[in-house]
């Protein structure tokens, strides 16, 4: 943890002081998508995650998420995209092209299955990267160690299909461009405690894993 303080301070300086970087807003941008899925689910999750990022790292993240379409002219101002939901996800041709361009130019997408979006998300990502496959990330992968230590990979928040959670990665040109948290539901763990009545230790594990994902992602840009 101490070894990370200097890099985190450098990131805080980069995002907090350089006028040239003001167009790159340090927050989570939630993707609005078509298809009928509830892209807006877990409304308290991202503000809580941003608060935990701020308190754990000192990074000058904003207090609120941003919600945008992949067609938004603001898309490339956000280094971290987030997509979740319980139902169908659908990208049209323009959205497919823009998402691939965004990712290939240094962006990052965290997909968090709330239980029910897996089939459609995998289908749509095949449009974005037809030749790439999701792979299970080994527990030693840096995303599990960027701030907090997760030697056994993703924490388990909620039971869906039983079995362990899966941290899946999609790579382009050797870089992790999509992290897919499956069979855990981190977003539920980020929500206000009274929403799901998750025990506080479970919530903290979920929030800390979210911190790791965010810090890993912005360190890659």
Tell me the CA distances in angstroms from 173 to 75, 79, 110, one per residue in order. Answer: 21, 18, 18
pLDDT tens readout for residues 132-174: 999 999 999 999 999 999 999 999 998 877 889 999 999 999 9
Q: Are 47 and 62 in contact (CB under 8 A)?
A: no
> What are the residue boundaries of the structural domains of the chain, listed by start?
24-219
Which stretches does DSSP call E strand in the chain?
A: 29-32, 66-69, 80-85, 108-113, 135-136, 166-172, 175-182
- This prediction's pTM: 0.90
Pick one of 3.10.20.30, 3.90.1200.10, 2.40.50.140, 3.40.50.12140 as the CATH number of 24-219: 3.40.50.12140
- Measured distance CA(20)–CA(126) in Å, rounded: 35
Q: Are 12 and 58 in contact (CB under 8 A)?
A: yes
pLDDT tens readout for residues 90-119: 999 999 999 999 999 999 999 999 999 999
């Amino acid at each position: 943890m101490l070894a990370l303080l200097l890099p985190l301070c450098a990131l805080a300086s980069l995002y907090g002081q350089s006028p040239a970087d003001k167009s790159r807003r340090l927050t989570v941008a939630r993707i609005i998508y078509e298809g009928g899925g509830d892209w807006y689910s877990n409304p308290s999750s991202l503000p809580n995650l941003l608060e935990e990022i701020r308190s754990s790292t000192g990074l000058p993240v904003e207090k609120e998420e941003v919600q945008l379409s992949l067609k938004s002219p603001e898309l490339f101002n956000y280094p971290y995209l987030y997509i979740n939901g319980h139902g169908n996800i659908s990208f049209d041709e323009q959205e497919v092209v823009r998402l691939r361009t965004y990712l290939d130019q240094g962006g990052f997408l965290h997909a968090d299955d709330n239980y029910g979006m897996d089939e459609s998300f995998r289908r749509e990502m095949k449009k974005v990267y037809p030749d790439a496959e999701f792979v299970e990330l080994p527990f030693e992968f840096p995303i599990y160690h960027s701030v907090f230590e997760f030697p056994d990979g993703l924490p388990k928040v909620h039971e869906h299909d039983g079995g362990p959670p899966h941290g899946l990665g999609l790579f382009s040109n050797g870089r992790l461009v999509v992290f897919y948290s499956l069979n855990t539901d981190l977003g539920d763990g980020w929500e206000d405690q009274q929403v799901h009545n998750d025990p506080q230790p479970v919530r903290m594990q979920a929030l800390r894993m979210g911190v790791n994902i965010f810090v890993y992602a912005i360190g890659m840009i």
